[in-house]
Chains A and B, each alone.
Chain A
Amino acid sequence: MEALRELFRDYRFAVGFVFLVLLAALAFLSFFSPYDPVRWLQVPRDEPPSWKHILGTNAKGQDVFWEATFAIRNSLVVALIAGLVSRVVAVLVGFLAGYKGGVVDRVLMGVADGLLVIPLFLILVLVAMLLREAMTIVNTGLLLAFFGWAWDARTIRAQILSLREREFTQTSLLSGNSTLSLVSKEYVPFTIPLIFSTLISNIAWAIGMEIVLAILGLVRLEIPTLGTMLQWAITRQAMLLGHWWWIATPLALTVILLVALYWLSVSVSEYLDPRMRIQRIGAR
């Protein structure tokens, strides 16, 4: 709790946090939606914002506000799946390669490098095209996760390598700690800021990537996400017809989401930075 209070002193954290809570609340609202997000023509088409439909309606005859609540929910789920799954892989691979070294290190880093050198975007497009019908929310998340761990695994490995050389590693072994508790007690506190900041940037990346895939029409378009909302708005000429509410809603939500994530990440990694923590300890 002490940590949270200190974090809230940073305006970037406070603003980012509030934005995220608002977006999460919006996503949560989707469970109370009066409309089915997939069905068309439930309301009059192309109406501008009014009291009845606060963000207007779209060309498919859907309420933009309620549609947006589904979109933000689904986009967040995709990004969280991508972020969390790739974090687990990156942490496991990074720790294992860094601590074990030798053959394990070479094999794991070989795989990571393999993923890094292939042109990621083309492969994503190719896979998405082939599996288009299977590109549900979960599968999109997993696909993004598959491509999102390699670089961060490398960064984590580098940090473990340098930590392994420090004397407290030996003290911990001399204190009778097993490898597992050595890693979790000595190394995790140093890598948490890294894991956390890569998690947030990975989430942001996944949100952007999902939008790109959707605009290219490579996911299942009937599922509302920030990406598919934009895709529909663009293909139905929302700009040309002056239906600004349809295109502005997903755009604004995306920008707010990305800015909030960025501020959170900067603020939290500054707070967790071991050097800053040591300074705070020393200054007591």
Chain B
Amino acid sequence: MDAIITVENLQAFYVLEVMGERKVIKAVNGVDFAVLRDEVYGIAGESGCGKTTLLKAIFAALEPPLRIFEGKVYYYPNGERVDAFSLAGEARRKLRWTYISYIPQGSMSVFNPVKRLRITFLDFLKSHVGGKREEELLTLAREHLVRLGLTPQVLNGYPHQLSGGMRQRVAIALATLLKPRVILADEPTTALDVVAQRAVLQLLRDVQKEFRSTIIVVTHDMGIHAQITDRMAIMYAGRIVEEGLTKDIFARPLHPYTRYLIQSLPKVGDKNTKESAPGSPPSLLYLPPGCSFHPRCSEVMEHCVQEIPPLKKINESHWVACWMREG
């Protein structure tokens, strides 16, 4: 199978100086995985589990206080392996948006609020596609929108004139203008209502079909993962605790945390009481010893408090980090 992104033992921490005291927030704490060509890969986890940081690291958008302490991220443009962190200047600029693109959380920040969307699209194209007249670029943008089933009229308006769902879809259209091989989407459906969510999912599916791109979706909403991803990883406190085919994870969740996530989902037609995992996620500043989930786990054993469980292969595609599955 062809990998398109690989992440190896990635450790990305925020280093803060607060009142002369050094604090290290271990947002991504030893993460390994590979994303394959032409698949939709999901990363699930609650706020503060490090999933947004992971996306930033994959995009090689490293601004202080975020620092890479260890590990590598590799891209595979034209079949050759490229270290994402060693890319600089022109080489990085070239790969961004053509090989890999990023849709940040909250689509409002993508657009300049005082400019018509046409200008935003044109500026974007001008800086990446050389030697074309404005008219041609505009046609390019229009064709792209039509291809994704959006009306090209949105280009004439301002960002605030669009509804949240429409704005999110236009943001996705902008990020996919140059037909990137990999699209990173950070919480693309959060803060949208179910109908707008459905529109965004429909669009992501169309993008994937149309351009054969790989999509990495980060969201805490398990319903979205079930609807769109092929494979997924569950993150908890900076680590991946389970990875597998989406249908396997939903059918046979192995980690107690994953089980809580799936079993607590309400369904129409089911009034039985659902329980959330007890407690709250830990602060990334002060991680509990051993397995980070042990204070909330109903099946905690002595071993869990002492040692961090490694990610262990259960079968061909299913991995889990839990001492219950050891041996």
Contacts and interface: CB of A to CB of B under 8 A. Distances in A.
A and B touch in the complex (CB under 8 A): yes
Interface in B1-47: 16, 18-19, 23
Interface string A257-282: 00000000000000000000000100
A283 interface: yes
Nearest to B16: A283
A71 to B, nearest CB: 42
A284 B18 CA distance: 8
Label chain B's interface by main secondary structure. Answer: strand
Contacts of A280: 18-19
Contacts of A283: 16, 18-19, 23
Contacts of A284: 18
Nearest to A6: B19
A192 to B, nearest CB: 22
A278 to B, nearest CB: 13
B65 to A, nearest CB: 11
Looking at B16, B18, B23, the one whose CB has the most chain A CB atoms below 10 A away is B18
Contacts, number: 7
A283 B19 CA distance: 9
A33 to B, nearest CB: 46
B27 to A, nearest CB: 15
B74 to A, nearest CB: 34
Nearest to A282: B18
A276 to B, nearest CB: 12
Contacts of B19: 280, 283
A280 B21 CA distance: 12
Contacts of B23: 283
B53 to A, nearest CB: 17
B120 to A, nearest CB: 25
Contacts of B18: 280, 283-284
Interface string B216-229: 00000000000000
A8 to B, nearest CB: 14
Nearest to B20: A9
A240 to B, nearest CB: 54
B248 to A, nearest CB: 39
A280 B23 CA distance: 13
A280 B19 CA distance: 9
Interface in B131-161: none
A283 B283 CA distance: 12
A283 B17 CA distance: 9
Contacts of B16: 283
A283 B16 CA distance: 9
B47 to A, nearest CB: 14
A85 B19 CA distance: 37
A104 to B, nearest CB: 28
Interface string A119-132: 00000000000000
Nearest to B23: A283
A280 B20 CA distance: 12
A280 B17 CA distance: 11
A9 B244 CA distance: 53
B284 to A, nearest CB: 13
A284 B286 CA distance: 12
A283 B22 CA distance: 11
A190 B256 CA distance: 44
Nearest to B21: A283
A284 B19 CA distance: 9
Nearest to B18: A283
A283 B18 CA distance: 7
B136 to A, nearest CB: 42
A284 B16 CA distance: 11
Nearest to A279: B18
A280 B18 CA distance: 8
Interface in A216-243: none
A52 B259 CA distance: 90
A270 to B, nearest CB: 15
B66 to A, nearest CB: 16
Nearest to B17: A283
Looking at B16, B19, B23, the one whose CB has the most chain A CB atoms below 10 A away is B19
A46 to B, nearest CB: 56
B17 to A, nearest CB: 10
A284 B21 CA distance: 10
Interface of A: 280, 283-284
Interface of B: 16, 18-19, 23
7 contacts: A280-B18, A280-B19, A283-B16, A283-B18, A283-B19, A283-B23, A284-B18
Nearest 3 A/B pairs, CB to CB: A283-B18, A283-B16, A283-B23
